Amino acid sequence: MLGEYRDKVVLITGGLGFIGSNLAMRLVEEGASVTVVDSSIAGCGANPYNLAAVRDRVNVIPLDIADASDFASEIRKANVIFNLAGEISHIHSMQFPERDLQINAVSQLRFLQECVRHAPGVRVVYAGTRQVYGVPEYLPVDESHPVNPVDFNGIHKFAATMYHMMLSRAGKLDAVVLRLTNVYGPRMALDIACQGFLGTFLRRALLGEALDIFGDGRQVRDPLYVDDVVEAFLLAGLAVLPSRTYNLGGLEPLSLSEIAETMSREAGGVPLTYRPFSAERASIDIGSYCSDWQRIHRELGWKPATSFRDGIARTFSYYRSELAHYLDPGNPDAVCRLPEHHGARHRLALIAV
């Protein structure tokens, strides 16, 4: 980065989460002044321990981005805003669609309106998702692929993507969207089964348990190591952008079997088992996926640098000493039990303020 972030003021939403906290730590290293906003909504992956090593060098605001007017002064000061707050679980979104709409669309809308008000034209880097593409019509998937999400999460993340793009086209923000693929690495939540198979595999491998593969194991994913994602966010935070939407993707497309085998080896040989998809999972399964990340390579010089084998080795190394901080003792089976007030018993309404 050649010191480009030294003394820059950055705001990170969702900064207690997996990717946000890794980004915060790197920005502290780079000499930036870092403020994190995170309301620690249950099920979204926030973990205060993620920032333990830099806790005295990061300003943490425990607020929801929907209440951005309460931290307007932080928005005004920011040179760059990294916007990673959100819910990523496809399964949660199908169980509680209004909760997902609140977290991923309503809150983003309100946050961005405050950004427009207090920091017009500010660079915002949004953590989008490959989930907006749905079942790939071709591989690898580039940014021109049709948008066709298979779950509420993809729909609402795409609405938030469009908020960023539309407000930028109108000159009110200067946003860029990074569409992430399956990201893994230190600080990912291990106690939220519904956040994706990589966290589940990791947790089970670390505990010496068998890895359950749904389907025949030949489905492809392109896992991306978190340090590579952080690098992309740093580049996108300051770069002159010919485009506004960029896919990120891993170095190698790998089958689920290959992914599981690599993790099993790293764990000293836990068994693999193959299981049929449940109806719930099958209905939102997207088949094989890998990203075409040539656009960001061409325009910003980014590429994934970490092989899956190396990334998994570093990930295991982290969790071997820190595992206790990532297992919820109240949730031993890693079954998602969302608190009732984030679930089905609540609904969205227009209320007076």
Applying CB under 8 A, the residues found at the interface with its own copies are 97-99, 101-102, 105-106, 109-110, 113, 144, 146-152, 154-156, 158-159, 162-163, 165-166, 169-171, 283-284, 341-342, 345-353
Q: CB 215 → its own copies: shortest distance, Å?
A: 18
Q: CB 51 → its own copies: shortest distance, Å?
A: 27
Q: CB 134 → its own copies: shortest distance, Å?
A: 8
The whole-angstrom separation of Cα 72 and Cα 339 is 29
Taking the least distance from each CB to its own copies, the nearer of 2 and 170 is 170
DSSP-derived secondary structure letter, 141: B
The whole-angstrom separation of Cα 32 and Cα 29 is 8
Taking the least distance from each CB to its own copies, the nearer of 76 and 110 is 110
Cβ pair 123, 231 in contact under 8 A? no
Taking the least distance from each CB to its own copies, the nearer of 162 and 323 is 162
Chain position carrying tokens 């950055």: 10
Q: Copy the structure tokens of residue 217.
A: 């194991």
Q: CB 109 → its own copies: shortest distance, Å?
A: 6
Q: Of 250, 270, 10, which Cα lies nearest the Cα of 122?
A: 10
Q: CB 70 → its own copies: shortest distance, Å?
A: 13
Beta-ladder partners of 127:
178
Distances (CA, A) of 169 to 127, 173, 178: 18, 8, 17
Q: CB 81 → its own copies: shortest distance, Å?
A: 19
Cβ pair 19, 44 in contact under 8 A? no
Q: Of 257, 243, 150, which Cα lies nearest the Cα of 211?
A: 257
Q: CB 170 → its own copies: shortest distance, Å?
A: 5
Chain position carrying tokens 């990340």: 293
Taking the least distance from each CB to its own copies, the nearer of 87 and 222 is 87
The whole-angstrom separation of Cα 125 and Cα 161 is 10
Per residue in 155-174, is it b (16+ CB within 10 Å) or e — as a string? Answer: bbbbbbbebbbebbeeebbb
Taking the least distance from each CB to its own copies, the nearer of 91 and 224 is 91
Taking the least distance from each CB to its own copies, the nearer of 2 and 279 is 279
Q: Of 65, 71, 72, 59, which Cα lies nearest the Cα of 44?
A: 65
Taking the least distance from each CB to its own copies, the nearer of 101 and 256 is 101
Taking the least distance from each CB to its own copies, the nearer of 8 and 130 is 130
Chain position carrying tokens 């591989």: 139
Taking the least distance from each CB to its own copies, the nearer of 127 and 150 is 150
Other residues' Cβ atoms within 10 Å of the Cβ of residue 13: 29
Q: CB 171 → its own copies: shortest distance, Å?
A: 8
Q: CB 150 → its own copies: shortest distance, Å?
A: 6
In angstroms, the first-to-last Cα distance of the chain is 44
Q: Of 74, 109, 93, 63, which Cα lies nearest the Cα of 280?
A: 93
